[in-house]
Amino acid sequence: MRGPERYFLIISKNFLKSVISLIAMYADVLIIGGGPSGIVTALTARKNYPDKKIVVLRKEDKVVIPCAIPYLSSSIESVSKNIVSDEILTKNDIELLKGEAKSINRGEKYVETTVGKISYDKLVLATGATPQKIPIEGIELENVFFIKKEVPYLEKLFRTVREVQNIVVIGGGFVGVEFSTDIVRLKKKISIVELLPHVVQLNFDDEFCMQIEEKLKEMGINVYTNTRVEKIIGERKVEKVLLSNGKELEADMVIVSVGLRPNVELARNAGINIGRCGIVVDDYGRTNDPDVFAVGDCVERRDFITGSCRSVMLASLACRDARVVGSNLFEMKRLRRIVGDYPIFSTIIGDTAFGCAGLTERQAKEMKIEVVSGEFLTVNRHPGCLPDAKQIKIKLLFDKKSHLLLGGQVSGDKAVAEITNLIGVALQAKFTCEDIYLMEVGTHPMLTSSPIVYPIIKAAEDALMKFST
């Protein structure tokens, strides 16, 4: 084939490719972000809207399971074992594109990306959060790591963990504590530096914080509270860390775990309303644009008591948001009865699990809420001589006027996580002290505490006695 015919064929092929490309780059539902909230939004939307074209756009080649990142050093041993399979999307007829969103045109309803322009009917922002940076001299030295959800970065971080001996963790929240407890199993020297009077103080009252600190020390972890890192010292790599108390810690590596900031720039540049703590959404994840939703760590949350904005970044909350948004993209299928967010956490330090839900007593006092606490100590088996019997400690907080449950904290065996979830359900159902005292539970000698001394009921009873005095 020669001449005009050949060129006509080339032009026709190129035109056909362009048309196919334009058809392919449209989504009924376009989700930006492939973390837990993006995945669950896509899966929920597929169940509720089986005929819609759903596309997930993410910039990462692979997605890590975020909550398990602290346990990659010794418990999991490899980043490659902590990957979410892409099949969870593709086998549900959800298209996965790997690229980065650059801008959103809300007027014409398309997103400019590194893989082309994608038009949408409904857009979901699941852009997540980024580690907070802190203004410390030496923070840019080699072997100073933040906790990023990027596979190559994490591979370098955990390779370095194995190569060094002295590690300083800046930040004594859940993630910093969990990193430390896993790394210390490799016989490394670990020091946690926390600015507040106690580790995990934002989530537990003092008696539980001190129990956690005692467990950390039993594991051989040094804990410096009420202490600030003044300077990270070294020429090229980190060598020492100078503390506010004047002490210098030997350090071959520093892990910074001081919280996250929401990724809101893409939304802000598109004219989406941004609050003090993230993208502003209503109870159904809708932004100020009715066709743009936001879920997960990038959104601003509201406290279940005060209604004020707060930043709580949990995969469990992100997935709850995603179920709401994925159900209601095109019509209101799932009405949300619960308003506000109830933070529910659990962790394990050595052989002891800890859980908390709702307010601490300290937070209640800061809010000027009068509370009555109920406490109880028992064992998790009956009789207590059974194998694996372990003490359970529980504390419940109730509003002094209304008797409503406001929060709870628990320590003990691994069942603590589900006891904490039970407290979370009671919070959301607005249980009173009397409701908990009279609640029905199932018990078994090898699985639970005795029905005579069931911890959550006995803690409510303790509070009831205080109400009546």
CA distances from 33 to 111, 266, 273 (A): 13, 12, 19
User: Two tokens at 164?
Assistant: 């060094």
Contact partners, residue 348, CB within 8 Å, separation at least 6: 181, 354, 414
For residues 190 and 266, membership in a common domain is answered with: no
Q: What is the pLDDT of residue 469?
A: 75
For residues 125 and 266, membership in a common domain is answered with: yes
For residues 276 and 382, membership in a common domain is answered with: no
| In the chain, % of residues over pLDDT 90 | 88
User: Two tokens at 370?
Assistant: 């009068």
Q: Is residue 320 part of a domain?
A: yes
Contact partners, residue 453, CB within 8 Å, separation at least 6: 376, 378, 382
For residues 286 and 247, membership in a common domain is answered with: no
Per-residue pLDDT for 4 more than 60? no
Do 192 and 224 form a contact (C-beta atoms < 8 A)?
yes
Do 342 and 357 form a contact (C-beta atoms < 8 A)?
yes
CA distances from 201 to 120, 198, 341 (A): 43, 5, 19
Do 57 and 99 form a contact (C-beta atoms < 8 A)?
yes
User: Two tokens at 94?
Assistant: 């959800």
Contact partners, residue 8, CB within 8 Å, separation at least 6: none
Where residue 121 sits, what CATH number does that domain have?
3.50.50.60
Indicate the pTM of the whole model: 0.92
The Cα 404–Cα 392 span in angstroms is 23
The Cα 148–Cα 266 span in angstroms is 19
Q: Is residue 45 part of a domain?
A: yes
Per-residue pLDDT for 461 more than 70? yes
CA distances from 230 to 137, 165, 418 (A): 7, 22, 40
Give the tens place of pLDDT for each residue, 149-177: 999 999 999 999 999 999 999 999 999 99
Asked if the peptide bond before residue 383 counts as cis, ω within 30 degrees of 0, the response is yes
Give the tens place of pLDDT for each residue, 7-64: 444 445 555 444 444 455 999 999 999 999 999 999 999 999 999 999 999 999 999 9
Q: Is residue 460 part of a domain?
A: yes
Q: What is the pLDDT of residue 17?
A: 44
> Into how many domains does the chain fold?
3
Give the tens place of pLDDT for each residue, 314-357: 999 999 999 999 999 999 888 776 678 888 999 999 999 999 99
